[in-house]
A and B are shown apart, each in its own frame.
Chain A
Amino acid sequence: MAENHEVERTYRDLGLEAVSSEPVSTEGTRSFAQQMLGFWVTFKTMFKKVNTVEYPDVKEPTAPRFHGRHQLNRHPDGLEKCIGCELCAWACPADAIYVEGESNTEENRMSPGERYGKVYQINYLRCIFCGLCIEACPTRALTMTNEYELADDSRSKLIYEKADLLAPLRDGMLMPPHPMYPDMTDENYYKGDVLGFHPSQEVQQ
């Protein structure tokens, strides 16, 4: 309050109240023809092709590189690409990603190599869709889809778990856990030498 008084005083001290001013002059009412001319733009637009669609009944595809919901990808035989390294969480400027790693074992193998992501959560209340996580991912496990319908009625529903983010199984993929492709190392997986599953991988685990 004290500061405000001071400001007022300076205002007065400067003599700004004494500056002369004139009222703004307005022109009279426009003629009917002039008014109709103003509606011409509106009228003309009625015959143009519309840009908007009847969402949600009609959905337009997004731009191909639109940053939408994330996806955790799989290798062609179904093993997960995520190794739980947390580099995405590290890169995230909004602290939206939470990852916990775990060791792969012979009995429970989720990804090639030693390590997989046991817990993977993205908090879409925080995510700003900047894509830095995608750049950070060393295995191309994390990419972004074009899905943009990310609204829900509670906060907890907007924390996506690993199950919500994992890519669906395609043809030639097996649901992990299962062993690695015979005679292939994790390096072969990264190089793309594995093209589908091998019958020996279909053991029940």
Chain B
Amino acid sequence: MNGLTVSNLSFSYGSRAILRDVTFDALQPGQLTALIGPNAAGKSTLFKSIAGLLKPSTGQITLGGLDLATLSAQARLKQICFMPQFFAANAALTVFDVVMMAQKQLRGWRVNSADTAAVAHALSAGGIGHLAEAYVSELSGGQSQMVSVVQALVRQSDVYLFDEPTSALDLRHQLDVLGRIRAAIRDRDAIGMVALHDLNLAARYADHLILIGNGVIQTQGTPEEVLNSPKIAEVYDVDVELLVGPRKDLLVHAYAS
């Protein structure tokens, strides 16, 4: 398996180009890649294109050498697990129900004890065991985001795409969730991509960073390489100072220019 590759990918809504000629190095199994970039840079669009929910106008996406465009939508989404940024939470469904839904992957009416055990384990591992009986309509923003992450991780896929999994979480839960995502990616030897706004978190948890701005890949590489690149200041339109933190972690400080 030679990872997930994206080459010459373009996408536009009508005449408005969202992604232009996006190409990046093959993402390797067991590694977590952070996709960073300002709002409306095309992060979600890139994820949806990889998941096959949007049809790109040009370009090719391959997984393990196989062109994903040749797969049916169902087969593709079995291999690629995409966690969207938002979910409408006015349904009378419990947290247990929605995670079970992901576990069953829309197949079969019956739920066996293995499914129940898997869901119960996923909930407690995700730190939301106490919410199992709560209705999704009653969750706070942060709680429903954690449910989304559990929902994604309960599925067994080759590729995991998380669209801003930590945007509504407090400090402690941000660390928990990203730690859990990274551990799952390593254990399963899967390919992981996370869209993040917090560059410090990206530097700390990701093996690889991709910076996207204006629908174009600006730079990619290890966290040190990308965060040291002048492109960061340019793309985000801020002044950036980089420090090494007390535990040898990279710290990014941004100042309005």
Decide whether A and B are members of one complex.
no
Point out residues on A near B: beta carbons under 8 Å: none
